[in-house]
């Protein structure tokens, strides 16, 4: 059981953490960083209790497979202490900000994985928290460890990514800087050198970066990738990667029941509407994990959750109960494919009430029988989506949005299609586009 760290003096940052409650229009925000997105049923119930006792009861799944509690009042210390007592906090105060390591939600259970990433992830997380120099990294500096799983978010950019592959019968880790695993790798290391590579990259970054260069992409405007690789090669044996490219899996594997590597068991994925869970919902999911799974649940970068290790014959029962709790377990439901930021109800930068507008859009899309993946953003910061969604609605005023379609040749949200549309106009346009024979 965690105790409050001896020193809780935190550097200023706009990013919430477990120890840093950041104010918003709807109260304070506490972000709970989960190891590999995983949490036990007991810990989930501790989050529920904290949200009910010390906040408004609003719990959010984030796009980095973490949890947030919103609407925190004056009892911030009590909330923090309760979460630490449930072993949901960092080992050190300075380690809270830098626990930014993304795994697949299917780590250790995915049928296509090349290796179980969790032991290596544990090593990396322990080093991030115990090595004081790393506490100087930006709270947004992030690492991805990809074990080759089918269920993997491969579109979120990271400062460092590592991806498993096989070469001449040897398991290795391809890696890249300031990008995604679907990018061309800049090199590879033996699987046994994965931890050493992460340490070498982080140490090299801190040695080279000026204070204003907080992310790897900033550093690479001044130093070439080749210069960084030469520095890394002095610390870790590197090899080139020839003829390998990471291929994306299905984007729907986080919804519904899917077989695991172990015969006879499945995981069941469910989407809370717009990433928000009320206390009854999360408490009910924790109960189902105990009754039908292994008393654990996993959150995903799609702002959804999984119940792993469910017997195949129980999948239909679990899905039915998840749906009765208000979660969505089918990909053809609009709310399974809509994401929205907090919006103007909770964020001073939001230009529209995105959550309410998304619910309205979901009703219209259901009427039109369309299920596109749509991201509603209250401002250009795009807090709800680290990846580029197929369709993005960028708020320009209450109830009005500019509409973008993903285009690999365009930066940001993609190609601007129309300006200042109402929700009804967006729904009609998406319906017409889906019926067009020219639309691929």
Per the prediction, the chain carries an average pLDDT of 93
Band of residue 376 on the pLDDT scale cut at 50, 70, 90: very high
Kindly report the CATH number that applies to the domain delimited by 114-147+155-233: 3.30.413.10
Distance CA 246, CA 244 (A): 7
Please compute Rg for the chain using Cα positions. Answer: 21
Kindly report the CATH number that applies to the domain delimited by 256-330: 3.30.70.3340
Helix axes 194-208, 118-130, angle to 10 degrees: 30
Distance CA 7, CA 2 (A): 14
Distance CA 57, CA 48 (A): 7
Do residues 424 and 364 make contact, with C-beta atoms less than 8 angstroms apart?
Answer: yes
Instruction: Name the pTM for this structure.
Output: 0.93
- For the segment 347-370, the average pLDDT, to the nearest whole number, is 91
Band of residue 7 on the pLDDT scale cut at 50, 70, 90: very low
Kindly report the CATH number that applies to the domain delimited by 336-434: 3.30.413.10
Sign of the Cα torsion 39, 40, 44, 47 reads negative
Q: What pLDDT is attached to residue 332?
A: 87
């Amino acid at each position: 059981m965690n105790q409050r760290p001896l020193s809780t003096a935190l550097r200023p940052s706009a990013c919430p953490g477990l120890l840093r409650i950041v104010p918003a229009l709807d109260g304070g925000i506490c972000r709970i960083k989960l190891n590999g997105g995983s949490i036990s049923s007991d810990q989930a119930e501790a989050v529920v209790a904290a949200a009910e006792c010390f906040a408004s009861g609003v719990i959010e799944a984030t796009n980095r497979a973490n949890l947030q509690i919103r609407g925190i009042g004056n009892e911030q210390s009590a909330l923090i202490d309760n979460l630490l007592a449930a072993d949901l906090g960092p080992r050190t105060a300075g380690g809270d900000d830098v626990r930014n390591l993304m795994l697949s939600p299917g780590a250790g259970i995915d049928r296509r994985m090349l290796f179980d990433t969790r032991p290596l992830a544990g090593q990396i997380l322990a080093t991030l928290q115990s090595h004081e120099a790393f506490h100087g990294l930006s709270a947004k500096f992030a690492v991805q460890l990809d074990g080759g799983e089918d269920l993997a978010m491969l579109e979120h950019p990271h400062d460092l990514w590592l991806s498993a592959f096989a070469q001449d019968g040897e398991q290795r880790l391809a890696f890249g800087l300031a990008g995604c695993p679907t990018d061309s790798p800049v090199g590879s290391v033996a699987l046994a050198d994965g931890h050493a590579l992460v340490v070498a990259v982080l140490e090299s970054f801190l040695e080279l970066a000026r204070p204003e260069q907080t992310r790897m992409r900033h550093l690479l405007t001044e130093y070439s990738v080749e210069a960084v690789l030469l520095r890394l090669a002095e610390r870790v044996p590197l090899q080139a990667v020839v003829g390998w490219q990471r291929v994306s899996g299905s984007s729907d594997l986080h919804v519904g029941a899917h077989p695991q590597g172990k015969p006879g068991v499945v995981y069941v994925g469910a989407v809370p509407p717009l990433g928000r869970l009320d206390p009854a919902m999360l408490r009910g999911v924790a109960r189902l994990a105990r009754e039908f799974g292994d008393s654990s649940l996993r959150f995903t970068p799609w702002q959804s959750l999984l119940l792993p290790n469910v017997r195949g014959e129980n999948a239909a029962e679990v899905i039915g109960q998840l749906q009765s709790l208000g979660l969505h377990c089918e990909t053809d439901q609009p709310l399974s494919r809509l994401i929205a930021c907090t919006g103007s109800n909770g964020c001073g930068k939001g230009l529209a009430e995105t959550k309410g507008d998304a619910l309205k859009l979901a009703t219209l899309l259901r009427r039109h029988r369309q299920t596109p993946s749509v991201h509603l953003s209250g401002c250009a910061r795009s807090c709800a989506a680290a990846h580029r969604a197929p369709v993005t609605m960028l708020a320009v005023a209450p109830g009005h949005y500019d509409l973008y379609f993903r285009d690999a040749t365009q930066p940001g949200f993609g190609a601007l299609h129309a300006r200042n549309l109402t929700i009804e106009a967006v729904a009609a346009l998406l319906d017409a586009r889906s019926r067009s024979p020219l639309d691929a």
